[in-house]
């Protein structure tokens, strides 16, 4: 009897062990997990560093259609020294963004949409309650910043040119621009004058013009006279200008426009309670579309004493930050439309004739901030597959990287020896952390994604490097399928990044879900940063000038070959995909290399002769290829570098995807490639996504984001046979 009891006990223990193991078994990443990802951003600290405010972007069900999903951005608050969970501050379908603490930390100013226009709101930190609307500007209000004494806020608003013509505050005297609007037959810009004649198609010339203007207003015609007429999503004749306003930080106050005329005033920062620094091009005689330079000015808060600090022909001076005392400016300097890493500099406002300090750092810089004591400058930078936090001593100008290239610091703030930052890495796409200035042991203070990820199987990348024929070190990463077993063969997917001046890596959040999804489906993935990528310095960045195809393709293929050399990839099941420039490079590769089983290209560039005309980034042509399509030498390069001219060599099944409203590359690109392949009788499929822009995979319609990933996977699966 005792033996029987012991056997029963053993069986129960074994059963419990099996159940325990089954409960511990992790789940693979699913495509719909994209809807669970929450993204932390807009991080701001109080001056004492004790409280952080930040935004969290979530994806929620559409109220009208359960199959659709919307973005929702709200404000959250966290106490940096306590082990309490962050709490949500704002609610509502309008969303909230751009939070900034008042200097005393008692109020938060932020933006929220009201009747289709962004407006400023104030929220009392300790008192709670509902936010109070501060502005009712008919042009909207964005980018709030507090004055040092906390009594005022500045903000910006965008005005159309016709609105400026009519606005007696922004345009005293109802003047017309001094620069030429470039409408043929109207050298003096009389076309911009308000036409008070009654519209009549059978009337005199002014009545006909009034009739035609009404047709434009009713969207019966688009009349294009400007050079930069493509936006991200449409063709537009609109000309918009940014102006700076101030307002007292008290509900019921009236805003004050401090800038005037037909110019844009951007990146404003308070220098003192009575002076603001900004970027602009004042008194410019050229049409705004032809002005690529940017200068730095100061202006009094009453709109007087506009003074140019930095400016030169063919140079961009980009204002980045103002020190707490208002004595120093951080800015970057670059040559217009030149492929380069901008130079980071410090300007002394007390000694304006003194030469600016140069911070020697061969990477880009973003989100620049001065330390409270003004001894350090902090910024983020794309570097070697990650987005790192960097500090520079303003005494020695020595630069120190504070975080790992295996992570991405997506936003941060520093105050009183405390760093609060949003971070992405392979194990978690976004959380909020707090640390001291050494950043050795950061503390996780949120769990926006940690909870749903704790039972998910994650595949971590392995890094490799090689030196190409130009002597450049190229980095690549291999993501193996989950539950990888040595000795088995797996399909291998080559992923390529866009840009070309961008990068992939463990610190890049944009591809997190896609890599993990394919790994969960049993695919290996290899991705690399070929020549021309950002994050590796200016020499590397410029190494694909006049060479978008052959050189970068060689780097991508070398990374693939080195992955295959590990022995687990099935060379009969090689796939390749990429979007934007990567759509270009995918197409180039499969028209020059026949090893792949199938390919997918999204929103790519395939024919430079049409890209110049239909893309809003058309200036990439002179930037990378040295001229324009009608110039003989440049035309020869563009013909050589256009994948469409090798279309007859594409023999594998090919999926082409493009958004209907993509004006960054232009929809003719996909149509031309598809039709050419179809005429040649090649196995090709073409997908158009209604309403989608070039940003579909990053910030587009969530159902279409899922659709694009699944269509690529489903297409590859048709040919994924051993």
Domain ranges of the chain: 457-717
Average pLDDT of 410-416? 96
Phi-psi region of 397 (alpha: psi -120 to 50; beta: other; left: phi over 0): left
SS3 content of the chain, % helix, strand, coil (to 5): 20, 35, 45
> Average pLDDT of 643-653?
98
Mean pLDDT within 512-541: 97
Q: Does the pLDDT of residue 233 top 80, yes or no?
A: yes
Q: Rounded to whole angstroms, what are the CA distances from 400 to 190, 396, 435?
A: 56, 11, 17
Which CATH code for domain 457-717? 3.40.50.1820
pLDDT at 440: 87
d(CA 578, CA 604): 8
pLDDT over 60 at 301, yes or no: yes
pLDDT at 620 over 50: yes
Q: What are all long-range contacts of 449-455, with beta carbons under 8 Å and residues at least 24 apart?
A: 449/36, 449/37, 449/38, 452/33, 452/36, 453/427, 453/428, 455/26, 455/27
Residues 265, 259: contact at Cβ < 8 Å?
yes
Alpha carbon of 71 to those of 11, 56, 68, 663: distances in Å? 51, 10, 10, 23
pLDDT level of residue 452 (50, 70, 90 thresholds): very high
Of 334, 339, 289, 364, give the one whose Cα is nearest residue 620: 339
Judge whether residue 407 has pLDDT over 90: yes
Whole-angstrom CA distances from 542 to 189, 300, 403, 416, 456 are: 41, 41, 26, 40, 40
Q: pLDDT tens-digit profile of 19-62?
A: 444 456 899 999 999 999 999 999 999 999 999 999 999 999 99
Q: Above pLDDT 70, what percent of the chain?
A: 97
Spatial CA neighbour of 97 closest among 79, 81, 109:
109
Quote the mean pLDDT of the chain: 94
Contact 264, 242 (CB under 8 A): yes
Total-model pTM? 0.93
Q: What is the mean pLDDT of residues 640-653?
A: 97
CB 334 within 8 A of CB 311: no
- Look at residue 612 in the predicted model and tell me its pLDDT: 95
CB–CB of 276/256 below 8 Å? no
Alpha-carbon distance of 297 to 613, in angstroms, equals: 34
Output the CA torsion 63→67→71→77 (10° steps): 70
- Residue 21, CB half-sphere, CA atoms under 13 Å: how many? 5
């Amino acid at each position: 009897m005792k033996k029987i009891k012991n056997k029963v006990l053993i069986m129960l223990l074994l059963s419990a062990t099996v159940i325990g193991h089954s409960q511990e078994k992790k789940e693979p990443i699913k495509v719909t997990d994209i809807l669970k990802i929450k993204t932390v951003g807009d991080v701001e600290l109080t001056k004492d560093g004790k409280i952080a405010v930040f935004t969290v972007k979530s994806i929620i069900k559409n109220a009208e259609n359960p199959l659709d999903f919307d973005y929702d951005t709200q404000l959250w608050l966290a106490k940096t020294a306590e082990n309490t969970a962050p709490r949500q501050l704002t609610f509502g379908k309008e969303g909230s963004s751009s939070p900034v603490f008042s200097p005393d930390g008692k109020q938060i100013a932020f933006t929220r949409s009201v009747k289709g226009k962004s407006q400023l709101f104030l929220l009392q930190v300790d008192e709670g309650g509902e936010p109070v609307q501060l502005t009712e500007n008919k042009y909207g209000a964005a980018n709030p910043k507090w004055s040092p004494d906390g009594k005022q806020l500045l903000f910006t608003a965008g005005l159309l040119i016709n609105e400026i013509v009519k606005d007696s505050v922004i345009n005293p005297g109802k003047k017309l621009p001094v620069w030429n609007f470039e409408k043929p037959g109207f050298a003096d810009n009389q076309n911009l004058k308000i036409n008070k004649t009654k519209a009549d198609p059978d009337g005199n010339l002014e009545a006909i013009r009034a009739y035609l203007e009404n047709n434009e207003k009713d969207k019966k015609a688009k009349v294009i006279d400007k050079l930069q007429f493509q936006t991200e999503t449409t063709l537009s004749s609109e000309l918009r200008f940014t102006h700076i306003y101030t307002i007292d930080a008290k509900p019921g106050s009236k805003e004050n426009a401090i800038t005037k005329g037909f110019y844009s005033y951007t990146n404003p920062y308070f220098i003192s309670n009575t002076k603001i620094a900004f970027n602009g091009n004042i008194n410019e005689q050229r049409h705004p579309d032809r002005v690529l330079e940017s200068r730095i000015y100061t202006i009094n808060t009453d709109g007087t004493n506009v003074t140019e600090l930095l400016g030169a022909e063919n140079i961009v001076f980009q204002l980045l930050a103002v020190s707490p005392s208002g004595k120093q400016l951080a800015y970057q300097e670059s040559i217009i439309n030149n492929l380069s890493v901008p130079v980071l500099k410090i300007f002394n406002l007390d000694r304006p004739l003194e030469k600016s300090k140069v911070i020697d750092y061969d990477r880009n810089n973003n989100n620049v901030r001065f330390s409270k004591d003004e001894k350090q400058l902090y910024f983020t930078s794309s570097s070697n597959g990650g987005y790192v936090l960097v500090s520079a001593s303003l005494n020695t100008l020595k630069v120190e990287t504070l975080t790992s290239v295996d992570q991405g610091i997506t936003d941060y703030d520093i105050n009183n020896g405390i760093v609060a930052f949003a971070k992405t890495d392979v194990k978690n796409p976004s959380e909020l952390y707090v640390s001291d200035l050494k950043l050795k042991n950061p503390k996780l203070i949120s769990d926006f994604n940690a909870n749903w990820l704790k039972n998910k199987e994650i595949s971590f990348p392995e890094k490799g490097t090689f030196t190409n024929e130009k002597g450049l070190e190229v980095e690549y990463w291999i993501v193996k399928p989950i539950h990888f077993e040595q000795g088995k063969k797996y399909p291998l997917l080559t992923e390529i990044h866009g840009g070309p001046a961008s990068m992939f890596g463990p610190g890049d959040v944009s591809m997190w879900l896609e890599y993990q999804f394919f790994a969960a489906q049993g695919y290996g993935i290899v991705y690399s940063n070929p020549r021309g990528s950002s994050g590796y310095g200016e020499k590397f960045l410029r190494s694909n000038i006049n060479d978008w195809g052959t050189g970068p393709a060689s780097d991508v293929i070398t990374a693939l070959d080195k992955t295959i050399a590990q022995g687990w990839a099935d060379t009969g099941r090689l796939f390749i995909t990429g979007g934007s420039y990567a759509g270009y490079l995918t197409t180039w590769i499969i028209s020059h290399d026949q090893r792949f089983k199938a390919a997918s290209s999204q929103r790519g560039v395939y024919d430079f002769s049409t890209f110049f005309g239909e893309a809003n980034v058309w200036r990439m042509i002179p930037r990378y290829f040295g001229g324009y399509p009608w110039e003989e030498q440049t035309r020869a390069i563009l013909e050589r570098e256009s994948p469409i001219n090798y279309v007859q060599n594409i023999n594998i099944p090919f999926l082409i995807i493009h958004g209907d409203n993509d004006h960054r590359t232009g929809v003719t690109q996909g149509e031309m490639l598809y039709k050419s392949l179809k005429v040649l009788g090649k196995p090709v499929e073409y997908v158009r996504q209604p309403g989608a822009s070039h940003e579909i995979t990053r910030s587009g319609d969530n159902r279409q984001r899922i659709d694009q990933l699944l269509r690529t996977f489903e297409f590859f699966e048709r040919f994924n046979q051993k």
